[in-house]
Structure 1
Amino acid sequence: MYDMCMDTLREDEDLGKLGFGPDPPQPHSVEVTAYAVLAAQRARESFAATVDAASGLLKGSLNRDDRAAYDACLVEYGYADFSMARVANDMLPGCRFGGLAEEYIKGLIPLESCRDRLMRLEASPLYAMNLVDRNKELLAYSLGQLLGI
């Protein structure tokens, strides 16, 4: 979890792309918001990689249970990504913190539902990816909590 946190929040050109940077120095609340936006965006990137992997698996030969689980997970990932997009692109940049905690949770619930489906399968290569996605969502939520949500 520590490694994931450090990788997700490493300072690089991504903060500059978000309009946050070292010159002039930013107040701590602005820095926290920048990291919260970055964590949400990185969670969405991770979601996209999992969706791509699931879509690729669906093109192959799968048993009925695997196919049904992956199809359902694709729908659930759509809901999770929608919530994180609201967080990353609307709520945080606009400093609209009312309902922010609920939006994070709305993104987490579908990921956990997908996890429950994948756990019932004999062996799914998506399970580990889903776990990473869930952890990135929780990291983003934890940073949001620093904003007082």
Structure 2
Amino acid sequence: MQPTSYSRTQIALHWTIAALVFFQILMHDGIVKVWDGRMEGTLPNQPTINPHAIAGALILVLVLWRLVLRRRRGVPGLPEGEHPALKVLATGMHAALNLLLILMALSGMAAWISGVEAIGEAHSIARLALVPLVLLHVLAALYHHFWLKTDVLRRMLGRA
């Protein structure tokens, strides 16, 4: 049977991941400077502990935990009466976000540990897809809340 609401854990994971992704976007320039220093030889070419790397690893663990919870507990259904195209878009958006977060965390760790510039470039380019996906996700939630008047946003706020 499909649940009618998200669990407290699912909600906490969603907002924790969102905050960490926001942190990663804001801290991007700092990690680029450290990476460039490693590649130019002005900093030791060895992985060091830094907030960006820690947040990336934490995002990976939390996204995987969230997916396990989704599989075991399920999630509320999409709003009744919603256009089928919107349901397809919502499903695709969530899959793309989860996949991209996992791939970015793995590629970031691989680049940081190995010091291979091509992996670092791929990781950096992936953010060009992540930022618009996150913005679209936020806009879709606001669209549901203010235009369609559904409970999608309230459910993720724990108020449905």
TM-score category (smaller protein): 0.3 to 0.5
TM-score, normalised with respect to structure 2: 0.43
Q: Of the two, which has the highest radius of gyration?
A: 2
